[in-house]
Amino acid sequence: MSSTKESRTELPTDYDRLEELKAFDHTKTGVKALVDEGIVEIPRIFIRPPDELAEELNRGESTLQVPVVDLSGIEVEDRRKEVVDEIREASEKWGFFQLINHGVPSSVLEGMIDGTRKFHEQDVELKKDYYSRDRKNRRVRYETDLHLYNSKTVNWRDTLNISMIVTGHIEPEEIPEVCRKEFLKFMNHIRKLGETLLDLLSEALGLKPDHLKAMECIKGQTLVCHYYPACPRPELTLGTDKHTDPDFLTILVQDQSGGLQVVHNNQWVNVEPIERGLVVNVGDFLQILSNDKFLSVNHRVVANKIGPRISTACFFTGVFEPPKMYGPIKELISEEKPPLYKEFLVSDYITQFFSRPLDKSGLDLFRL
The residue ranges of every structural domain in the chain are: 2-366
pLDDT tens digit sequence for 303-312: 999 989 999 9
Query: Domain 2-366 adopts which CATH fold?
Result: Jelly Rolls (2.60.120)
Q: How far apart are CA 280 and CA 295, in angstroms?
A: 12
Task: Provide the pLDDT for residue 3.
Answer: 42
Taking 60 as the threshold, does the pLDDT of residue 169 lie above it? Answer: yes
pLDDT tier, 165 (very low <50, low <70, confident <90, very high otherwise): confident
Given a cut of 90, whether residue 176 has pLDDT beyond it is: yes
- Summarize pLDDT for 130-151 with one digit per residue, the tens: 999 887 788 999 999 878 888 8
Residue 341's pLDDT is 95
> Degrees (nearest 5) of the Cα angle 75, 80, 81?
150
| Mean pLDDT taken over the chain | 90
Contacts (Cβ under 8 Å, ≥6 apart) of 157 = 31, 144, 145, 226, 227, 228, 239, 240, 301
The tens digit of pLDDT for each residue in 100-126 reads: 999 999 999 999 999 999 999 999 999
Q: What is the pTM of this model?
A: 0.92
Q: What is the pLDDT of residue 67?
A: 97
Q: What pLDDT digit, counting tens, does each position of 68-107 carry?
A: 999 999 999 999 999 999 999 999 999 999 999 999 999 9
Give the pLDDT confidence score for residue 60 in this predicted structure. 66
Q: How far apart are CA 116 and CA 120, in angstroms?
A: 6
